[in-house]
Structure 1
Amino acid sequence: MESCKTDGSASSVVENNEEFKVHVFSSASELLGKLQEKWKSGEKKPYPAMYSSIFGGIILDPAMMVIPIDDHMVHRGHGVFDTAIIFDGYLYELDVHLDRFLRSAAKAKITSPFPRSTLRSILIQMTAASKCEKGTLRYWLSSGPGNFLLSPAGLPTSAFYAVVISEDFKQHNDGVKVITSTIPMKSPLFATMKNVNYLPNVLSQMEAEEQGAWAAIWVDDDGYIAEGPNVNVAFITNDKELIFPLFDKILSGCTAKRLLELAPKLVEQGKLESVKTKNLTVEEAKASAEMMFVGSTLPILPIVMWDGHPIGNGMVGELALALSDLLWDDMVAGPDTQKIPVPYV
């Protein structure tokens, strides 16, 4: 009999023809105890709260933050998700993220088990129960659990899950390196739908890390700049134009759209000449004066090197920092329409 080795641990190695004995949990309480072992340390819990429509409530014990193995989001990838930022005790841009969430669900043919108002109320109540004042709120709609078939037709109900992730984030003043991804990007239908099928994104990110880069940039079949693995990308031309790639083949980033609303302030101050969305070729993009990623928790991350060649002078540019300040100030002291207070108890 041939030995079978995986990670090298005693629990996963079968050697010398010895039969490996799999433990059988005799009760739910024994299994729960095993799950809770991971969280017995005094360290701060990274996931202070979860909601599950399957359980019908908010879960505070991280050992119980699970979803059924027969949920179609798990074994078929039939689910969508979105996020919102928890910042100083309020939810930033929850409504615009929730609207995009429901648009994604409609494209994926998933019907929510609750109306929008109830989803919103659940997310606010769960954030309050978490007592987390800085982090991210991530939530999913799934076609639901019930079987391992391909079609969701026989499932009893769709499912809604959400989790609070305790996370610190700050402005980025240092630049990063990127590469051009060789992993094929998603087709427009799936790229514009924020779905859970992130394998291309994962492989693209791994490819970048293997080459010592922070992330990779996708280029579409027509040779135009698309996006990063989970963030939008923007450019400052030598004529001081802020340009985002068109959103017709990529995800419509909520933070990117908010920056498009805020950036005209820099035009008024004479720092920018214009703000627009348009197609950019790789050659045009690499000739830009500044380049940056734009995403919820960044909110701006300057890019100084692409495929081993400097962007502009290879230094973090003043306009990238000015745009970062615009978004950060909006998160800190922006209009109430962007900020939903959390009624912590």
Structure 2
Amino acid sequence: MSDRLWFNGEMLDRAQVHVDPSDRGLLLGDGVFETMRVQAGRIAHLPRHLARLYAGLEILMIPPPPRAGVEDALHRVIAENTMTEGSLRLTLTRGCGPRGLLPPEGVSPTLLIVPFPPSVARAPDAHLVTSRMRRDENSPLSRVKTLNYLPNILALMEARQRGGNEAVLLNIAGRVAEASASNLLIQRDGMLLTPPVTDGALPGVARSVLLDMRLVRERTLTLADLPGAEAVVLINSMMVREAVTIDGVALRREPSTAARIRAALAS
């Protein structure tokens, strides 16, 4: 795979891409992103990714680029890099502006699409740590995949410091919201359950696929629900991952559950 990127209306080599120092995405985290899996040369669940992207732009009041142009750019990146497997990272910022918080009128968004090769190994089992960081379930930003991921970054760093490799984030009310970069599912009495968006869960693309297939139901969860579950699984667009401990306590495992989810998301 070559290394050709889409940047503001044209295909460029990586070395040719220069982000303006006044870009609000760089300075303020003012923007959104999507990470999309490429499989057999096609973007998995592309309409769902675009729907979430444009919903986020509406919430952030960022002028949306034409959808057809974004789709064309994504396909151009796949074609020029001769991609069959891997992923695309789409980043869209509000654009450039003067110093200060309030964006100027008539700002032009920045669009960057970067290809990545496929991972060579499956993600390791998750050793969960309950983070001190909280998701604000009352904020509309909890529903947007913004460029400001500091709470998630700090949660994952905290998990590593405490001997884990993944974090569980609770919401302000103390209920389970999600993991640092994935939605969380538990299996109870053979049924897969996941926290609702109203509890602070990001509306993940893989999550939405499973909900529409009626393989998963939304249910408010607490930390006490995890140790007694038949399985705990983390999902996002790139992976399905079993959780094996939480805060040092062993979790029950049911490998067929993760296999069933992988099969459903690959269909």
1:17-32 correspondence to structure 2 within 5 Å: none
| Residue matched to 2:249 | 309
Q: Distance in 1 between matches of 2:247 and 2:228?
A: 13
Structure with larger Rg: 1
Residue 222 of structure 1: SS of its match in structure 2?
coil
**Corresponding position: 1:162 with 2:113:** yes
TM-score, normalised by the number of residues in structure 1:
0.72
Work out which of the residue numbers 83, 86, 92 in structure 2 matches 1:132: 83
**Aligned positions of 1:311-330 closer than 5 A:** 311-312=251-252, 315-328=253-266, 330=267
Question: Which 4+ residue blocks in structure 1 deviate beyond 6 angstroms?
Answer: none
In the alignment, structure 1 residue 207 sits paired with structure 2 residue 158: yes
Partner residue in 1 for 2:205: 254
Alpha-carbon offset, residue 155 of structure 1 = 5.5
Distance 1:169 1:97, change over 3 A: farther
Distance in 2 (CA, whole Å) between partners of 1:295 and 1:150 is 32
Shift in Å, 1:52 = 1.4
Following superposition, the deviation at residue 232 of structure 1 comes to 0.3
Aligned to 1:121: 72
- Equivalent residue letter for 2:238: T
Structure 2 residues without counterparts, runs of 5 or longer: none
Q: Residues of 2 paired with 1:308 and 1:253: CA distance?
A: 27
In the alignment, which residue of structure 2 is the partner of 1:216?
A: 167
**Deviation for aligned residue 1:141:** 1.9
Letter in 2 for 1:49: R
The one-letter code sitting in structure 1 at the alignment partner of 2:172 is: D
Gap change, CA 1:286 and 1:117, over 3 Å in 2: same
CA RMSD for the aligned pairs?
1.9
Q: 1:291 to 1:304 in 2, by over 3 A?
A: same
Report the counterpart of residue 244 of structure 1 in structure 2: 194
CA-to-aligned-CA distance 1:187-246 (integer Å, 9 cap, x gap)? 532211111011111111111122231210011122211001110000001x11110111
The runs of 5 or more residues in structure 1 that have no matched partner are 1-43, 265-274, 331-345
Percentage of pairs with the same residue: 23
Note the 1:138-149 alignment, pairs <5 A. 138-149=89-100
Instruction: Point out the structure with the larger strand share.
Output: 2
Counterpart of 1:291, as a letter, is V
The 1:175/1:77 distance shift into structure 2, 3 A limit, reads closer
Residue deviations 1:62-101 (CA, integer Å, cap 9, x gap): 2223311100111121111112111121111111101100
Q: 1:57-72 residue pairs with structure 2 within 5 A? A: 57-59=10-12, 61-72=13-24
Equivalent-residue separation in structure 1 for 2:16 and 2:162 (angstroms)? 38
Task: Give the C-alpha shift of residue 247 in structure 1.
Answer: 1.5
User: Secondary structure at the residue paired with 1:177?
Assistant: strand
